[in-house]
Amino acid sequence: MKKLIIAISFTLAFCSFQKEKWVKLFNGKDFSGWTIRGEQVKNDYRIENDEIVGISKPNSQNTFLCTNKNYDDFILELEVKVDTGMNSGIQFRSESRPDFKNGRVHGYQAEIDPAARAWSGGLYDEARRGWLVDLKNNPEGRQAFKKFDWNKYRIEAVGKTVKIFLNGVKTTDYTDTLATKGFIALQVHGTKVQRPMEVRWRNIRLQELAKK
């Protein structure tokens, strides 16, 4: 009986694993399926070693490399490494519409923040409501980000709930009613800093979920 139970458990676990259909959002070669959006002076993106590299320009505005496809419920995983003087973010369930601030990208953003306040993994509402979840009262979350190294983000957007994990630490657990669909984008924040700065993303994969 014990062997039978173990066999059934293994089968169920295997079936569950099989149902997890991860899709790579970046092919490592070109920006097929992506579009650069931004205002006036845009920052640059290039491809290097299967990584997407965002390069800041002095006196630039926020720039976004956006998926052409919109997503409802999903799990998104990726790794990021950023210059310690640079702010960045991962947009999701975001939009760019002519009737909203002349097409300005807006929507949820998982924060990438190597500054002293250490709010990486917080939830920001880009060009709309501002901070929804900061990390002022989350000391464990504030310690999760690794400067000068790769950091793994996991974003779970299911129904009205958004959860963000940074290097395995839950930094955001938020319920909202505003947006449940939109594109994913990689932000290079506008800056006035004169020296070149870069942010890198790799291993970008997504699992679409049946909408609840």
Helix H, strand E, coil C: the string for 149-184 is CCEEEEEEEECCEEEEEECCEEEEEEECCCCCCEEE
Residue 41 has pLDDT above 80, yes or no: no
Please give the DSSP secondary-structure letter assigned to residue 99.
Answer: T
* pLDDT-derived band at 59, boundaries 50, 70, 90: confident
Residue 110 has pLDDT above 60, yes or no: yes
pLDDT tens digit string along 149-158?
999 999 999 9
Listed in sequence order, the DSSP H helices in 94-144 are 139-142
* pLDDT-derived band at 192, boundaries 50, 70, 90: low
> Encoding tokens for residue 130?
């501002």
| CA atoms of 52 and 47, how far apart (whole Å) | 5
Q: Within 10 A of 35 (CB to CB), how many other CB atoms are there?
A: 13
* CATH of region 22-208: 2.60.120.560
State the pLDDT at residue 212.
64
Residue partners of 184: CB distance under 8 A and separation at least 6: 25, 66, 67, 71, 76, 90, 91, 92, 94, 206
Neighbour-count burial of 182, counting CB atoms closer than 10 A to its CB (0-12 exposed, 13-18 middle, 19+ buried): buried
Does pTM top 0.85 for this prediction? yes
> Encoding tokens for residue 209?
């979920």
Q: Are 145 and 198 in contact (CB under 8 A)?
A: no
Region of 100 on the Ramachandran plot (φ > 0 left; ψ -120 to 50 alpha; else beta): beta
Q: Are 110 and 131 in contact (CB under 8 A)?
A: no
| CA atoms of 56 and 109, how far apart (whole Å) | 18
Point out which residues pair with 187 in neighbouring strands: 64, 89
Average pLDDT score over residue span 96-106: 91
Region of 72 on the Ramachandran plot (φ > 0 left; ψ -120 to 50 alpha; else beta): alpha
Average pLDDT score over residue span 33-54: 90
Mean pLDDT for the chain overall: 89
